[in-house]
Amino acid sequence: MLTNFFSNDAWQDYDDLAKTLVMAVDAIIEAERETAE
């Protein structure tokens, strides 16, 4: 498990996942702002 965690492939997947989450959060924040105005 730890070996997989420290492998480059795992970090690449984690990086992609993190970017996707950030984009999703940004979209939600934008929607909230538009709704609030």
**What pLDDT, in 10s, does the model give residues 1-37?**
566 656 667 677 888 888 999 999 999 999 999 999 8
Task: Record the tokens describing residue 31, joined without a space.
Answer: 């929607």
CB 4 within 8 A of CB 10: yes
The confidence score (pLDDT) of residue 22 equals: 94
Give a yes or no: residue 1 inside a domain.
no
pTM exceeds cut of 0.85: no
Give a yes or no: residue 2 inside a domain.
no
d(CA 22, CA 11): 16
Overall domain count for the chain: 1
Dihedral (Cα; 23, 29, 34, 36), 10-degree rounding: 170
Give a yes or no: residue 27 inside a domain.
yes
The confidence score (pLDDT) of residue 29 equals: 95
The confidence score (pLDDT) of residue 5 equals: 58
Residue ranges making up the domain that contains 24: 7-36
